[in-house]
Structure 1
Amino acid sequence: MLSYREIDDDYCLGIEFDVTDVDSLAKTIALVLIQEYDMARNLVTGNTFSEDTAQFDQDEIEDIIQRRLHPTVVYHRDGFLFQLMMWLAAHLDLQDSDLVALPHSQGSAKGQDSIVVHRSTDAVVALTICEDKATENPRDMVRDEVWPEIKEYEQGGRRDELRSNIIATLGTGGIPSAEAQNLIRGISWSGKRRYRVRVTVEPNQRTSKLFKGFEEIVNGDNEMRRGETTILPSMRNWMTTLAGKIENELRCFTPGV
């Protein structure tokens, strides 16, 4: 459903995603929306699993559909769906000990769009802060909105948010709360923050300078900086089609369907 490849980029580690199967992607996002996270992970990574899922009352499914797929502002829907796509994509090249924070339950949630916790057996060795933007103007978005947020992190801001998210994410990996708090208590933030900037682009859109300035904000080698693009033709229309497919998949989780 999703494939990726590394591309040459002067400013960061360049990653380019393609959607290879929209129907499978819609099914997987529908699973995320009903909190079947393990099944969604297995689908995107190609692991075997049982497809037995819970059944939901029709009114609960319709509530999810209306709030997530038909919000008042369509940009919120597109941003939310893109975050879920990138949450799935993050599982394609994880190291064995990496953990990805669970996706936001609210499309308009503030803070990090996602984080990836990189750990050893007895320490948090790094964390990746993700910025996901579904946009028709990727360079403007990166320059005017993403870079200021990353500058804030690099200046030491919002560490309380990061600690909270790391502890919660370690918990999803089966680490007891007290142990998770101990792991994060002694973290040295110097050199520990990595960043993934993930944006939508049109086919054949020029992206050679999309992430210009990244290396000035975040020092170090390319491991510290990832610039990821996902090719979506006519992004708003594409998202509308995807939302319709997700809606159909969600209704399959009601009795009698």
Structure 2
Amino acid sequence: MTLTLQRVEAPDLCEGSEWTVVDQDVLAEQIARIAVGQYRHVARILLGAGASAANVIQAAKKDAVALLSLKPEEKPWHRDGWVFQAISWIAAHSDGSVAIRAPHLIKAHKGFDGLKLEFSDTGAVTAVVVFEDKATDNPRDTIRDDVWPGIVRLEQGERSNELSQEVSALLETQLKSFPDLDVDAAVQEIAWKEARRYRVAITVDKSHANAKLRMALFKDFDSHAPGDTSRRLAETMHVSDLRPWMQAFANLVITKINGLPDNV
């Protein structure tokens, strides 16, 4: 286990958990596998299926190292954002979910940070979860000024074409498990607001370390995404000094990338 997720109660406001890194070394290796394009290898491990070591071509290693590296004078925001999105993707597997969109490999990606589908026991799609993943030194400002407006736009129907396309592609990956799944009907079903859920994951420091302060961080979540509490998912990862931690962790991931077995 690389992460533990401790549930945090915020009655009537949101549901969610706090993430704690249990094994940074293993987490770095998993991020390294994602960076070289082997997310399926990581997913099998996260879902308990196990996976044998997979070799990696040198070109993939080179691209992965570039993804984790900063050019001279380059700010770390996009690199750190990608790393946190990859950690978020790993955390999303904690409940055994399999319908999670593959992590992207672009530092300045402008699409959805992540997507997950939830199913009933009969295979019917019950919800689409839209991820908002933010690695930031200013969590409350980021949520208020960036995340909330984005959620409002989605609630108003903006980006519906993009969401439908992403969900369609994700649903098609489930046809093997649910051969009777009507992809088009499922897409229509999740177009309704109540079927959309929002999972806001953000880095925090000690200023939001307890439940009361954490609740203040997500203030007004219920007014921007109204409805049942299950529509509002709030995730936090405590990092005392974000940018130095991210730099050290990125360096560790690069070490793991270079240590992956070569495909010769």
The one-letter amino acid paired with 2:196 is R
The equivalent residue for 2:45 is: 43
The answer to whether residue 192 in structure 2 is matched with residue 189 in structure 1 is: yes
Question: Does structure 2 conserve the Cα–Cα contact (< 8 Å) formed by 1:28 and 1:44?
Answer: no
Q: Deviations over 1:144-191 (max 9, x none)?
A: 100000000111111111111111112333458x95345324555141
Closer/same/farther in 2, CA of residues 248 and 119 from structure 1, 3 Å limit: same
The equivalent residue for 1:70 is: 70
TM-fit CA distance, 1:42: 3.5
CA distance in 2, matches of 1:21, 1:204: 24
Query: For residues 76-225 of structure 1, what are the structure 2 equivalents within 5 Å?
Result: 76-95=78-97, 99-120=99-120, 121=122, 123-174=124-175, 179-185=182-188, 187-203=190-206, 205=208, 206-225=213-232
The one-letter amino acid paired with 2:35 is L
TM-fit CA distance, 1:117: 1.1
Closer/same/farther in 2, CA of residues 174 and 250 from structure 1, 3 Å limit: farther
TM-fit CA distance, 1:109: 1.0
Closer/same/farther in 2, CA of residues 70 and 182 from structure 1, 3 Å limit: same
Measured on the aligned residues, the alpha-carbon RMSD in Å equals 2.3
CA distance in 2, matches of 1:126, 1:198: 18
- Deviates further, 16-25 or 111-120: 111-120
TM-fit CA distance, 1:122: 5.6
Closer/same/farther in 2, CA of residues 256 and 191 from structure 1, 3 Å limit: closer
Equivalent residue pairs, number: 252
Aligned residue among 16, 38, 55 for 2:18? 16
CA distance in 1, matches of 2:200, 2:145: 13
Closer/same/farther in 2, CA of residues 218 and 182 from structure 1, 3 Å limit: closer
Closer/same/farther in 2, CA of residues 251 and 145 from structure 1, 3 Å limit: same
CA distance in 1, matches of 2:207, 2:236: 12
The one-letter amino acid paired with 1:81 is V
Question: Does structure 1 conserve the Cα–Cα contact (< 8 Å) formed by 2:56 and 2:263?
Answer: no
Aligned residue among 31, 34, 41 for 1:32? 34
SS of the residue corresponding to residue 7 of structure 2 reads strand
The one-letter amino acid paired with 1:228 is E
Closer/same/farther in 2, CA of residues 221 and 168 from structure 1, 3 Å limit: same
- TM value normalised by structure 2: 0.87
- The unaligned stretches of length 5 or more in structure 1 are none
TM-fit CA distance, 1:211: 0.2
Closer/same/farther in 2, CA of residues 215 and 251 from structure 1, 3 Å limit: same
TM-fit CA distance, 1:204: 5.3
SS of the residue corresponding to residue 131 of structure 2 reads strand
SS of the residue corresponding to residue 208 of structure 1 reads helix
The one-letter amino acid paired with 2:201 is R
Q: Deviations over 1:218-237 (max 9, x none)?
A: 12222110111011120111
Matched-pair identity in %? 33
SS of the residue corresponding to residue 55 of structure 1 reads coil
Question: Does structure 1 conserve the Cα–Cα contact (< 8 Å) formed by 2:31 and 2:253?
Answer: yes
Closer/same/farther in 2, CA of residues 64 and 217 from structure 1, 3 Å limit: same
Aligned residue among 250, 255, 259 for 1:252? 259
Q: Deviations over 1:224-253 (max 9, x none)?
A: 101110111201111111101110111123
Query: For residues 46-65 of structure 1, what are the structure 2 equivalents within 5 Å?
Result: 47-57=48-58, 59-65=59-65
The equivalent residue for 1:242 is: 249
